Structure 1
Amino acid sequence: MKIRVRFSKQEQMKFIGHLDMVRYFQKVMRRGEIDVAYSEGFSPHQKMSFAAPLSVGVLSKGEYFDMEVNSTLSTKEAIERINEQNVEGVKVLSYKLLPDNAKNAMAVMSAADYFVYTDIFTDDDITGFINQDSINVIKKTKKSEKEVDIKPLIYSIKKEDNGIFIKLAQGSAQNLKPELVVTALENFTQKSDTSYIYERLDMYCTEDGKLISLDNIGSDIGENIG
């Protein structure tokens, strides 16, 4: 059976890196006696995969990992048991049974929502920025850097009361970081801030041309299975 878990990462836990979070949840599952399936071979490991690494220092209300289990508690019991083991700053928000043919979150993820807490940009700044014919930035890789147009990868951007909401392409095929969008916005407006706070709100896959939250795949479990 495949399970998808959604969790939040807040407060000081934003400084914990991706690999440490993987190891953290492996320990939490063992301590919570969640019946996670293990791989075979000389070095068995829990069958668990995370949707996408979160940059260190970024908060989140919408992180996901998938895991295979031999048996499972109900959604309510599983969430309670896991959260009993969680430290402050990490909280499981949903626990769903996936269809047998569901691909893992890492493979299907195609977009994400972010919120950038800042008060320096106006509605006119955002409108002028996104209405440009192109938004060219220098994108650096390990081996080189090149100029790319990121406008097609910004699906939505708007000013809200305490910051900026951004929906952007994020996944294995196309991947845009919100920090790069903000850098481009700074260059356009000639404004800057040293106290941005970034928060990932949710992640999406694409079905029939529409973005679907990873949390909308699968179903809650009413009673123990297995």
Structure 2
Amino acid sequence: MKVRVKFAKEGAMKFIGHLDIMRYFQKAIKRAGIDVAYSEGFSPHMIMSFAAPLGVGVTSTAEYFDMEINTPISGKEAVKRLNEVMVEGMEVKSFRKIPDGKANAAMALVAAADYYVEFREGMEPETDWKNKIEDFVRQSEILIVKKTKKNEKEVDIRPYIYEMRLEESRIFLKLAAGSVKNTKPELIMEAFLAFLGQEFDSFCFTIHRAEVYADKGTEEYRNLISLEDLGEEIE
């Protein structure tokens, strides 16, 4: 049976890198007594894959990985067992069955993600930034210089911004994510601060990921569904 696990990574755990998170869950799954499937061969390893892992320093309540289990277990029981062995800052949110097949893998499905960006106290832009968000998004193109190991190139990131608005004191972003189209909230904020005529400093704001989506629509119309909702409850 293939299952999808949703978990939160908050507090000090935001400083733990992806590989360490993966190793942590491998140990936690063993301690929780979940009968996970292993690959065959000389070096067996747990059959699990993470969807769009976050960079260091970003909190999230919507991290996902898929894995295969040999013995069925109810979703509630699995969540309970896993949370009993979680450290502070880590919490399993759901444990759901997903269909077989590579096309249903979380890694392949990722198409968009929600983020909240909040300026640290005393580090807000000097300009009236709250009333400039609509003007920023209204632009037909938003050009940034994207640096790679070999060169630099100018990229229009406007098509990757699905939504950007003010929610109380935070900026809400719905951005393209995944292997086909992808952008990071840091790049959007860099472009926004440049639009305001402000110097970019990644320390002046915090980023929180709130959800990750698959797109079940067409080329003309997006139909975003959370990776969690693509799974079904295990009784």
The CA distance in 2 between the partners of 1:116 and 1:60, in whole Å, is 12
1:201 and 2:210 matched: yes
Query: What SS does the corresponding residue of 2:72 show, helix, strand or coil?
Result: coil
Query: In structure 2, what is the equivalent of residue 83 of structure 1?
Result: 83
TM-score (norm 2): 0.91
C-alpha distance after superposition, 1:183-226 (max 9, x if no partner): 0000001235643110011101111231111011121111xxxx
- Report the AA paired with residue 203 of structure 1: V
- Report the AA paired with residue 99 of structure 1: P
- Report the AA paired with residue 79 of structure 1: V
- Report the AA paired with residue 106 of structure 1: M
Query: What SS does the corresponding residue of 1:4 show, helix, strand or coil?
Result: strand
**Alpha-carbon contact 1:110-1:205 (below 8 Å) kept:** yes
Query: In structure 1, what is the equivalent of residue 110 of structure 2?
Result: 109
- Report the AA paired with residue 114 of structure 1: Y
Deviation at 1:174, TM superposition (A): 1.3
C-alpha distance after superposition, 1:21-64 (max 9, x if no partner): 00000000011111110000000000000001201000001000
C-alpha distance after superposition, 1:86-138 (max 9, x if no partner): 10000000110112346210011011111001254634210110111210001
Bigger drift between 36-45 and 187-196 goes to: 187-196
The CA distance in 1 between the partners of 2:146 and 2:195, in whole Å, is 16
Query: What SS does the corresponding residue of 1:215 show, helix, strand or coil?
Result: coil
Query: What SS does the corresponding residue of 2:54 show, helix, strand or coil?
Result: coil
| Deviating 4+ runs (over 3 angstroms) | 119-123, 191-194
1:184 and 2:191 matched: yes
Match of 2:165 among 158, 165, 174: 158
Root-mean-square deviation (Å):
1.3
**How many residues are paired up?**
222
**Alpha-carbon contact 2:129-2:196 (below 8 Å) kept:** no
Deviation at 1:140, TM superposition (A): 1.4
TM-score (norm 1): 0.95
Query: In structure 1, what is the equivalent of residue 230 of structure 2?
Result: 217
Q: Give me the identity figure in percent.
A: 52
**Alpha-carbon contact 2:36-2:67 (below 8 Å) kept:** yes
Query: In structure 2, what is the equivalent of residue 17 of structure 1?
Result: 17
**Alpha-carbon contact 2:10-2:60 (below 8 Å) kept:** yes
**Alpha-carbon contact 2:98-2:104 (below 8 Å) kept:** no
Bigger drift between 36-45 and 159-168 goes to: 159-168
Bigger drift between 201-210 and 17-26 goes to: 201-210
1:126 and 2:126 matched: no
Bigger drift between 193-202 and 64-73 goes to: 193-202
